[in-house]
Amino acid sequence: MKCYRLLPTRVYLLHQLKHVQFGYINLNDKNILVEHLAKNKKPVIFPVKAITSYLPHDFEKVFAEKTLRFAPLLDLEILDAMLMMVINPTILITKEHQHLMNGIAHQSALAIQRVRLIEAQREEAYVSTALLQVAQNLARTINLPHVLDMVTRLTPMLVGVTQCFIFLANDKASLVPPGASNLGLTDKASLVPPGASCYRLEAMYGVDGFDIHPKTPCDYWQELPSLIRDSVQYPIDVGNRLPPILQAVFPHGQLHTFLFPLQAQGNLIGCLLVGDTKMPILSLRREIITGIAYQTALAIDNAMLHAEHMNQKQLQHDLELARDIQRSFMPQDLPTLHDWDMATRWEMAHKVGGDFFDLISLSKHHLLIIIADVANKGLPAALFMAKTISLIRVTSLELSEPAEILDRVNKLLLPDSSGGMFVTVFCAVLERETGHLKYTSGGHNPPILLRKSGESIMLRTQGIILGVFDGMDFEQKSDTLHVGDGVLFYTDGVTEAFNSDDEMFGEDRLLHVLKENWHCSADEIAGKIQKSINDFAYPRSQSDDFTLLLVKRT
């Protein structure tokens, strides 16, 4: 539908138009007048009575006997507007009059073009200035609440809207209640952070305040039309299609409401909802708001990435601190014992882990040897490890038999071993002078006793993991280490290392490396075992904690 507006012009008959209600002439594309002007690009004359149905009210009464001359106003040879002149049919229109009127029409078309160009330039300059101001302000902060507050404050000032809300998407890609809002420079809404179940609006339109009944984020957004809930790609004229909770914010009957998508990296991260109680949100303002929405999406995305980066940085710092604390639980130096050679290797698959070992002097001649593995990884395992090793140390002050120590520690762990946490422990007491070794196992990998002769013995006993069952016995055995003998204590991360073919390193390979290098020092043997496992698993990275302790009698 073509729409041409009749406006009062400076003509000789202006005094006759003072009682005329000027408005629009609506002519569809098939109307003979529009067809003629668009096709022939030449003026056309109609009696007023011939087009009465297209003229504003009371127009016929004033110019009933007149003739109307419509001249096309062209823009690049395309019909852009019409110049209407009222002609007295009793006056003879000469060629000079026609040339004059055609010249007026031509100059009018040029003038309109120049004015539109100037307006377009001004609009473009204003758009650029407004968006530059938004960009400069957003560049000053990477704090998400500051970004939301800044946008909802700047948008009303730059664009003139009276309401501005920002919705943020949650992890389930559903939009949650407003993360920031602004009802203009004087009326503001105080909202809780995104994702909260309810909020309170205060001092709105003379209302002292009222509570909104709690709603889950999902229920809240489902009240909006499905068109808005779907992947929004372009601004949507919301009109009055708002849920009751927002109808309380937007005045009754207001139709000037638009929703602009906030997209970053191809994902819908939220929406910018703006409304105006005074005037429609036309193309210029929509263009500015579209630019603001684009910059807002980038700023929100950057703020979220920065927050995530800072959280990761803080987490890494906390993990480093936890690792240092965990290291402090381990023996800082191995005891120097006459006629005994010792070495250890302790590596975590993550920053912290559940493997640990300890060497506790029970007396001048007796050494308690502990190696254990909490059935988990990361921080939970490290915390459970710290608790277990503390209980073992306290218990060893009273008890000296391996089986008694594990039984007591198991009872102490049971009340707090929720969440499926448990630990495997191998406990041994070595008599330094004689080499006598008493040992028991709480579901741990059996250590390897290797004789000087090359004979190997797996130190197996009956015993369950700690922290699961009560009333279970721990079997205790003993053996003697002679000169040249030794024991390798280890966790499952040693034997259960996998290569790219999903083959496990296993006890046989471990025993082979141990025998092949038994003539070396304890530290050299530990290094050979570690290198063999790394070479075997390459290029796969370490997937489990790795701990070994080698005690060799020299």
In the block, which residue shows the tokens 């009326």?
187
Asked if the domains 141-308 and 331-553 are classified in one and the same CATH topology, the answer is: no
Give this prediction's pTM.
0.58
How many Cβ atoms sit within 10 Å of the Cβ of residue 276? 21
4: exposed, middle or buried (Cβ count in 10 Å: 0-12, 13-18, 19+): middle
- The pLDDT of residue 198 is 28
Size (the chain), residues: 554
Instruction: For domain 2-128, give the fold.
Output: Beta-Lactamase (3.30.450)
Please give the chain's pLDDT, 554 residues, in tens: 444 444 444 333 434 444 444 444 544 545 667 777 777 788 877 777 777 766 666 666 777 777 778 888 887 777 777 777 777 777 777 788 788 888 888 888 888 888 878 877 777 777 778 778 888 888 888 888 888 888 888 888 888 887 788 877 655 444 444 444 444 332 333 332 333 332 222 222 222 222 333 334 434 444 444 444 554 567 777 766 665 556 666 655 555 788 888 888 877 777 888 887 777 787 778 888 888 888 888 898 888 888 888 988 988 888 888 888 888 888 888 888 889 999 999 888 777 777 899 999 999 899 999 999 988 777 788 888 888 999 999 999 999 999 999 999 999 998 876 667 889 999 999 999 999 999 999 999 999 999 999 999 999 999 999 988 887 889 999 999 999 999 999 999 899 888 888 899 999 999 999 999 999 999 999 999 999 999 998 888 777 788 999 999 99
Domain 331-553 belongs to what topology? Phosphatase 2c; domain 1 (3.60.40)
Distance in angstroms between the alpha carbons of the first and the last residue of the chain: 104
Query: What is residue 348's predicted lDDT score, i.e. its pLDDT?
Result: 80
**Span 141-308: which CATH code?**
3.30.450.40
pLDDT score for 179? 47
Give the pLDDT confidence score for residue 549 in this predicted structure: 96
Give φ, ψ of 84 to 5 degrees.
Answer: -100, 130
Tokens of 158: 């730059």
Backbone angles phi, psi at 35, to 5 degrees: -60, -45
Residue 289: which of 520, 131, 465 has the closest Cα? 131
Closest CA to 395 of 354, 342, 358, 364: 358
Q: Work out whether the CA dihedral 367, 401, 487, 352 comes out positive or negative.
A: negative
Q: Residue 362's closest CA among 409, 402, 408?
A: 402
Place of tokens 């160009």: 117
HSE toward the beta carbon, residue 150, CA cutoff 13 A: 23
pLDDT of residue 272: 84
Nearest to 98, CA basis, from 68, 69, 67: 69
Residue among 549, 532, 486, 551 at smallest CA distance from 344: 549
Look at residues 420, 416, 402 and name the one whose alpha carbon lies nearest to residue 462: 402
The rounded distance, in Å, linking the Cα atoms of 38 and 32 is 10
The domain locations on the chain are 2-128, 141-308, 331-553
| Cα–Cα distance for residue pair 466/388, rounded to 1 Å | 9
What is the C-alpha separation between 505 and 320, in angstroms, rounded?
A: 30
pLDDT (0 to 100) of residue 101: 82
